[in-house]
Every structure is written in structure tokens, then in C-alpha cells.
């Protein structure tokens, strides 16, 4: 039942070219999408830091309903009553206004206020924080490129594996058909007494094993194509790779200078810059923070002693004079992180050349293996032709025929594996050199 489901998935899968699978993975692979979103998170964080370069404007307002208005009387009674007539008139002119109630607050008051704060000495720290944010964005983007390249190699591996399993099914089918033909001839020889029962049984056993191997290969097709769909991020249950002419091989990637443009190197260099900028930002926190302040207020209903409009401008200072070394040690931590990134970057730059050279060597060895395997296939087919003729002439036993058939099938399978190993080695070399992962580039009729 499981085999039938896997085979049905393989049959229903739509053929897809390698370039199409790579394009699909670049859009839909979950790891690529997560890395792209991480870059967007870094962009948003950096944009948020940049806003601290501009003044912060705060608006506030209030509307209050009190239980009663508030009034004040400064002079009660008649302080001029004991004075003579001349002084009494003068006294009444002086104290008369203060005998009336003075409004201090209405029963309903409103207030609107605007306040702007602009850091001055803090601008250096903010600018360094923004520089760190921009470096973090570059690092996140480089990480996304590295994930994209690694995913491309994984897609190439899955695509070639799926195609290889299909080709292995063809090899297994040809082996079954060849053994069925040998059995037909052997039955004819056995009926006329030219072939012993034991040799006929040997061919029967070999045929049964070949059929089991064919079933295993067909099952592997479904699994491989499901893996291809998973790696490419497809909504389909399985993706069938488009057939490929394996007669022509792509050229070896050319050796380049030290691949300093590798995404991993770019990311580490950006992280070093971010750590340096963050160290500078933290050091600036050790200094007094001076900022400009401006405020405007509009009042309603606050009585005689409050102005309707009032504003002021000024400077504010804030300094954590004693923080027990908190900012100092934080700056030292960021400095050590920058040094750590510098050491890692130097080591990675040295290792990048070695990794690229190793990938090129693997590709050259794989290409040589392809050339050797093709010669081996020709030799195995010629050997099978000779042994078959000798078997038909009854001068070679069935064991020789089975060995020759097995040798031919193994040589053909090894040739397929060597070819796909070379194509995958080309993709890995392209990744190590910082090139676009396109292992079929340069082969006519491929896409």
C-alpha cells in the first residue's frame, strides 16, 4: 500500500527544470523566507534607532471638572474704618480692589501643552547606534544570501537525487528484461538437454533478485521526489525532475582569487563593524547627556495668576555620575566582541581559500571518475556481449553470464552515480567560490 502511494505521487508530479526548482526555493523555501524576514527585522530595528536623531515632540492635554471654583479674598472687613476722613479715602483706593474675591480657578479648566526634546551630546551615541544598526542589516542580508546559497545546493542535491533514482529504475528494468531474455533462452536449452537444472535455477534466482531491486528503486523515486518538493518549498506532494541529457558535462568552475565576497565573510565583517559602533555608543553613555528643551502651554480657566499662553526654552543635563562601572563594562564587552569578530574574520578568510580549493579538487576528481566510468560501461557491455555469445554456444556456464550481466548493471549504475556526483561537486564548488549555484550552466539545451 505504501509503495503504491509513493509511486502515485511520483507519477502525478509535474516535471520541473532545475532552474525552476531553484527559483521556487528562492521564493518559497521556509529557511530562505525566515532569513529574509530576519533581514527585514534588522532593517526595522535600524530605522527605529535613526528616529532618535530627531527631536521628540510630546503633546498633552487635560480637561477637568472641579466641585467648585476657587476664589481668594486677601482683605476682609473694613480696615479703613478707624481712619479720619482724609486718610480713609486714600485707604479705600488702595485696598478696595483686594476686598473683592479674586478668581484662582474656574470650576472647569483645560490645558494643552507641547514639549520638544532634542539630544545634543547624545547625538554621537545615537549616530553610532544607527551605524551599528546599518551594519546589522548588512549582516542579516549576507546571512540570507548564505542561506539562499546553501539552500540552492540542497535543491540541486535533491533534484539530481530524484533524477538519479529515476535513471536507476531504468537500469534495473533493463537488467530485469535482460535476465528474462536469458531465462527464455535457458529454458529452451534446458528442454533439449543443453543446460542443467542448477544453471537454470541460478538464472531464476538472479531474476527474482533483480525484480526486488527494481521494486526498491521504484519506491525510492517517490521518496526522492517528495524530498525535492519539500526542499523547494512546493505546495505539491512531490516534484518530478525534468529529464536531462547526461552526454555533455558542464565545465569545471574557474579558480578565483580569495573569495572575499562570500556571504559568510560579508556577514562577519558587518558584525565586527556593528560591535565597534556599539562600543562607541556605550562609551558615549559615560559622558553627561545634554539636551535642548522647548515647551508651550495654553491654559483655560486657571484664574488671574496664570497666563493664557506660556512657553520656555532651555537646556537639560543628566549624568549618571556613579553607576558602579555598568556602562564601562558594557563598552568593554562590546570591544571584546569586535575583537572576537576580527579574529574570526581573519580565520574565515584563510579557510575560504582552502575550502574553495578543496571543492575544486573534489570536482576534478569527480569529473575524472565520470570519464573512467564511461570507459568501464563500454568495457562491461563488450564483456557481456562476448559472454552471451559464449553462453549461447554452450562454452560458458550460466555463472559467467550472470556475472557479466551484474558487472554491466553495476558499471551503468556507477556511471550514473559518478555523473551526478560530478554535477553536485560543481554546485558545491560554485558555492565555495561565491558564484551563483548553476551546475548545468554551459550545457546546451538545459535550463
Domains and CATH numbers, the chain: 2-60+118-432 (1.20.1600.10)
Contact 203/186 with Cβ under 8 angstroms?
yes
Q: pTM to 2 decimals?
A: 0.77
Quick one: pLDDT at residue 399? 84
Residue 317 in 3-state DSSP?
strand
φ and ψ at residue 314, rounded to 5 degrees: 180, -170
Cell of 78: 473694613
Paired with 445 in beta bridges are none
Contact 25/32 with Cβ under 8 angstroms?
yes
CA-nearest of 331, 327, 318 to 121 is 318
pLDDT by residue for the chain (447 residues), tens digit each?
444 444 444 445 568 999 999 999 999 999 999 999 999 999 999 999 988 888 999 999 999 998 888 877 666 666 676 766 667 666 766 766 666 677 778 889 999 999 999 988 888 889 999 999 999 999 999 999 999 999 999 999 999 999 999 999 998 998 899 888 888 888 888 787 777 888 888 888 888 988 998 898 898 999 999 999 999 999 998 999 998 888 788 888 776 555 557 898 899 899 999 999 988 988 888 888 899 999 999 999 887 778 888 999 999 888 887 778 888 888 888 888 888 888 988 888 888 888 888 998 999 999 999 999 999 999 999 998 998 888 888 788 888 888 888 898 889 999 989 999 999 999 999 888 888 888 887 664 455
Amino acid at each position: 500500500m505504501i509503495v503504491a502511494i509513493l509511486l502515485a505521487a511520483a507519477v502525478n508530479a509535474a516535471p520541473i527544470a532545475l532552474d525552476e526548482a531553484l527559483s521556487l526555493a528562492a521564493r518559497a523555501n521556509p529557511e530562505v523566507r525566515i532569513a529574509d524576514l530576519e533581514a527585514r527585522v534588522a532593517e526595522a530595528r535600524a530605522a527605529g534607532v535613526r528616529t532618535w536623531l530627531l527631536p521628540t515632540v510630546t503633546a498633552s492635554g487635560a480637561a477637568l471638572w472641579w466641585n467648585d471654583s476657587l476664589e481668594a479674598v486677601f482683605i476682609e472687613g473694613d480696615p479703613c474704618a478707624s481712619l479720619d476722613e482724609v486718610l480713609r479715602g486714600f485707604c479705600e483706593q488702595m485696598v478696595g480692589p483686594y476686598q473683592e474675591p479674586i478668581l484662582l480657578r474656574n470650576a472647569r479648566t483645560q490645558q494643552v501643552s507641547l514639549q520638544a526634546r532634542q539630544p545634543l551630546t547624545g547625538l554621537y551615541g545615537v549616530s553610532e547606534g544607527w551605524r551599528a544598526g546599518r551594519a546589522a542589516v548588512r549582516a542579516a542580508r549576507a546571512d540570507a544570501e548564505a542561506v539562499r546559497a546553501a539552500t540552492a545546493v540542497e535543491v540541486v542535491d535533491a533534484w539530481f537525487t530524484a533524477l538519479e533514482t529515476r535513471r536507476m529504475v531504468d537500469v534495473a528494468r533493463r537488467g530485469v528484461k535482460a535476465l528474462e531474455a536469458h531465462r527464455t533462452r535457458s529454458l529452451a536449452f534446458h528442454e533439449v538437454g543443453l543446460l542443467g537444472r542448477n544453471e537454470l535455477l541460478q538464472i531464476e534466482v538472479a531474476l527474482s533478485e533483480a525484480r526486488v531491486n527494481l521494486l526498491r528503486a521504484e519506491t525510492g523515486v517517490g521518496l526522492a521526489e517528495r524530498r525535492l518538493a519539500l526542499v523547494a518549498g512546493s505546495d505539491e506532494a512531490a516534484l518530478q525532475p525534468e529529464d536531462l541529457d547526461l552526454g555533455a558535462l558542464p565545465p569545471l568552475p574557474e579558480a578565483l582569487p580569495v573569495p572575499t565576497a562570500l556571504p559568510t565573510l560579508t556577514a562577519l565583517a558587518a558584525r565586527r563593524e556593528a560591535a565597534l559602533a556599539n562600543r562607541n555608543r556605550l562609551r558615549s553613555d559615560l559622558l553627561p547627556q545634554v539636551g535642548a528643551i522647548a515647551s508651550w502651554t495654553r491654559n483655560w480657566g486657571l484664574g488671574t495668576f496664570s497666563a493664557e499662553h506660556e512657553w520656555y526654552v532651555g537646556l537639560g543635563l543628566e549624568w549618571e555620575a556613579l553607576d558602579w562601572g555598568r556602562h564601562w563594562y558594557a563598552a568593554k564587552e562590546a570591544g571584546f566582541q569586535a575583537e572576537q569578530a576580527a579574529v574570526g574574520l581573519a580565520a574565515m578568510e584563510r579557510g575560504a581559500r582552502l575550502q574553495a580549493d578543496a571543492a575544486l579538487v573534489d570536482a576534478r576528481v569527480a569529473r575524472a571518475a565520470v570519464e573512467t566510468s564511461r570507459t568501464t560501461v563500454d568495457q562491461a557491455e563488450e564483456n557481456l556481449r562476448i559472454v552471451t555469445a559464449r553462453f549461447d554456444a554452450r562454452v560458458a556456464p550460466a555463472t559467467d553470464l550472470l556475472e557479466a550481466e551484474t558487472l554491466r548493471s553495476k558499471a551503468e549504475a556507477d556511471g550514473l552515480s559518478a555523473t551526478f556526483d560530478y554535477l553536485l561537486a560543481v554546485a558545491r564548488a560554485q558555492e565555495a567560490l561565491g558564484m551563483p549555484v548553476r551546475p548545468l550552466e554551459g550545457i546546451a539545451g538545459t535550463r
